[in-house]
Amino acid sequence: MQPVTVIGIDPGSQRTGWGVVREISGVLHLVDCGVVRTASAGREFSDRLARIYHELAKVLTRCKPDEAAIEQVFTAKNAASALKLGQARGVAVAACAACGLSISDYEPTLVKKSLVGTGRAEKEQVAFMVKRLLNVREADWALDTSDALAVAVCHLTMRRFAALTGH
């Protein structure tokens, strides 16, 4: 298989995690990662959405991933939270689509199961496995960033599986 670079995104209206992972001959390499924080973006919710879009666009331009993987909206505390989360996710999808990337969606339980072995894994368990799989000893990133990296790793795993099975 050819080397492939994937951006994983864990969307959120206050914190959107992102992580770029490159796979070369079956070996995963961390390219870059971070989190878009929107608290200081402005007073309006639209300002937060604009920050997510523009910050992700900068990352996409700098890292030039081949594909994108975005976590699906799982559940929210209430309808208003679910709507905001969905809008943040939509902005992330739009940023990736504007760069011409193919976008794959993954349910949080599938991401957790592919890395930890159970769909109900805690965030800390996912973060531990992400560090192991990317061969990172000390990571000072946020859990949102670990979740985004997990989405990218899950996508790469699914790509390998599809290539092996012909699906």
What is the tally of helices (H) and strands (E) in the chain? Answer: 5, 5
Tell me the per-residue pLDDT of 99-158, one tens digit each, with 9 for 90 and over.
999 999 999 999 999 999 989 899 999 999 999 999 998 888 999 999 999 999 999 999
pLDDT of residue 81: 85
Domain count, the chain: 1
71 annotated to a ligand binding site: yes
pLDDT of residue 39: 87
Query: Is 47 one of the annotated active-site residues of the chain?
Result: no
Pick from 27-31, 74-78, 127-131, 150-154: least confident: 74-78
pTM exceeds 0.85 for this model: yes
10 annotated to a ligand binding site: yes
Q: Which domain holds residue 159?
A: 4-165
* Beta carbons of 87 and 13 less than 8 angstroms apart: yes
Q: Round the average pLDDT of the chain to a whole number and report it.
A: 94
- Owner of token pair 């990218």: 152
Query: Is 67 one of the annotated active-site residues of the chain?
Result: no
Question: Which among 23, 55, 67, 71 is annotated as catalytic?
Answer: 71
Query: Is 71 one of the annotated active-site residues of the chain?
Result: yes
Query: Among residues 145, 126, 151, which one has the least CA distance to residue 73?
Result: 151
* Confidence at 75, pLDDT banded by 50, 70, 90: low
Which 3 state secondary structure label does DSSP give 14?
A: coil
CATH, residue 114 = 3.30.420.10
